[in-house]
Amino acid sequence: MTATPLLEVHGLTRRFGGLVAVDNLDLSVQAGEIVGLLGPNGSGKTTALNLISGALKPDKGSIALRGGAIAGLAPHKIARLGVARTFQLVRVLGSMTVHENVLAGLAFGTRNDWGSRAEASAVGLLERVGLGGRGAVMTPELTYIDQKRLELARALALRPELLLLDEWLAGLNPTELLQGIELVRSLRSEGIAVLMVEHVMDAIRSLCDRCVVMNAGKRIALGTPAEVLSDPEVVRAYLGD
């Protein structure tokens, strides 16, 4: 008998006018698993994440978290049920310090120790993502990797069971990439599941337990990184017909 998946998506479909951006998509994420969502540009990956996080409503299909239906719920409700995603914070919350940014994230969640322990939680979160001692820095002054770390701290403030990452590892230099990979891996060891849209193949190979590959809205492959990356249909999709 298999356990109920943490996330189970079935028949998910979303159109934009005549375009079917996500077309009858099935995918699942088990508790504590890292699943890669791959595919060429325009294949529907970000739309799929937007549907799961509630930023967009599906036209058809089901999304279940621990067996409970979440499709079509408001984003803050889905977040409070344990699904967090990273956002580009520097754009949104640039006039705050790093510490204030994380406190704001803690205030949003009801799944955390809000109250007298918020300060300690913020400090702990910053240490966890490698920003210990940088709490007083203004957000726009952070280096790119530290901005990424802050995005993650904000998402972790919700104490998610499932974290959605949209190209979180993009644009890092090789040293930072290794640090970023280690950070994502450490989340899995704490029991957090991750669904990550990613193009960095080294990260996919070293992190993902399984990958789902999309093309033109449809799932074209499912398997381990080695299996999907050697699948002729996947290779064709990436090279273009």
CA atoms within 13 A on the CB side of 207: 32
Q: Whole-angstrom Cα distance, residue 134 to residue 83? A: 26
Q: How far is the CB of 167 from ligand ADP (least distance, A)?
A: 9
Query: Is residue 51 near ligand ADP by the rule CB under 6 A?
Result: no
Q: Whole-angstrom Cα distance, residue 220 to residue 76? A: 31
* Number of other residues whose CB lies within 10 A of the CB of residue 99: 19
Q: Does residue 155 contact residue 170 with C-beta atoms inside 8 Å? A: no
Q: Does residue 111 contact residue 76 with C-beta atoms inside 8 Å? A: no
Q: Does residue 176 contact residue 21 with C-beta atoms inside 8 Å? A: no
Pick the piece of the chain touching ligand ADP (CB under 6 A) from 45-53, 110-118, 134-142, 219-227.
45-53
- Closest to ligand ADP by CB, 16 or 138: 16
Q: Alpha helices of the chain — where are they, by DSSP H?
A: 45-53, 75-80, 89-92, 98-108, 118-128, 144-156, 174-189, 201-207, 225-229, 232-239
Size of site (CB under 6 A) for ligand ADP: 11
- Closest to ligand ADP by CB, 55 or 137: 55
The only residue of 12, 23, 33, 43 in contact with ligand ADP, by rule CB under 6 A:
43
Query: Is residue 130 near ligand ADP by the rule CB under 6 A?
Result: no
Query: Is residue 86 near ligand ADP by the rule CB under 6 A?
Result: no
Q: Does residue 34 contact residue 207 with C-beta atoms inside 8 Å? A: yes
Pick the piece of the chain touching ligand ADP (CB under 6 A) from 34-42, 62-70, 105-113, 177-185.
34-42
Query: Is residue 95 near ligand ADP by the rule CB under 6 A?
Result: no
The only residue of 34, 45, 142, 180 in contact with ligand ADP, by rule CB under 6 A:
45
The only residue of 5, 44, 105, 135 in contact with ligand ADP, by rule CB under 6 A:
44
Sign of torsion over alpha carbons 46, 52, 55, 61: positive
Query: Is residue 16 near ligand ADP by the rule CB under 6 A?
Result: yes
Query: Is residue 42 near ligand ADP by the rule CB under 6 A?
Result: yes
The only residue of 6, 9, 12, 21 in contact with ligand ADP, by rule CB under 6 A:
21
Query: Is residue 46 near ligand ADP by the rule CB under 6 A?
Result: yes
Q: How far is the CB of 44 from ligand ADP (least distance, A)?
A: 4
The only residue of 41, 95, 116, 175 in contact with ligand ADP, by rule CB under 6 A:
41
Dihedral-angle region of residue 200 (phi above 0 means left; psi in -120 to 50 means alpha; beta otherwise): beta
**Which positions touch ligand ADP (CB under 6 A)?**
16, 19, 21, 39, 41-47
